[in-house]
C-alpha cells in the first residue's frame, strides 16, 4: 500500500483484493502476537509444540481445577470417581 489515499472512503473504494488480503493477514498476525504476549504473562507458551495431542477446553479446565486444589490432574481424576490414593488423608 502506497498511502496515496485522501480519506478512508477512498481507501475502501480503491483497495485491490491483494491489498485487502495483505491487510487481513497483517491484522491476524498482530492479533496472534497480542494474544501470545498475554498468554506469556500468564505462563502459557502458545508456540510450545512439545504436546502433540490437541488440548481440549475440558483438559484445560481439569488442569486448572487440579492446580487450585493443589493436586495433580491424575489425582483429581481418581478423587472424582471415589478412589483414594496412598498417602491421602
Instruction: For residue 58, name the pLDDT band (cuts at 50, 70, 90).
Output: confident
pLDDT of residue 25: 94
* DSSP letter for each residue of 10-76: HHHHH--HHHHHHHHHHHHHHHHHHHHHHHHHTT--TT--S--SPPPHHHHHHHHHHHHHTS-HHHH
pLDDT of residue 31: 95
Write the pLDDT tens digit of every residue in 1-41: 456 767 888 877 888 888 889 989 999 999 999 999 998 88
Write the pLDDT tens digit of every residue in 59-83: 778 777 777 777 776 676 666 666 6
Amino acid at each position: 500500500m502506497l498511502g496515496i489515499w485522501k480519506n478512508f472512503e477512498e481507501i475502501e473504494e480503491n483497495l485491490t483484493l491483494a491489498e485487502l488480503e495483505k491487510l487481513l493477514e497483517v491484522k491476524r498476525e498482530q492479533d496472534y502476537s497480542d494474544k501470545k504476549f498475554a498468554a506469556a504473562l500468564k505462563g502459557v507458551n502458545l508456540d510450545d509444540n512439545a504436546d502433540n495431542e490437541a488440548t481440549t477446553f475440558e483438559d484445560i479446565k481439569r488442569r486448572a481445577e487440579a492446580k487450585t486444589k493443589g493436586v495433580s490432574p491424575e489425582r483429581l481424576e481418581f478423587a472424582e470417581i471415589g478412589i483414594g490414593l496412598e498417602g491421602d488423608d
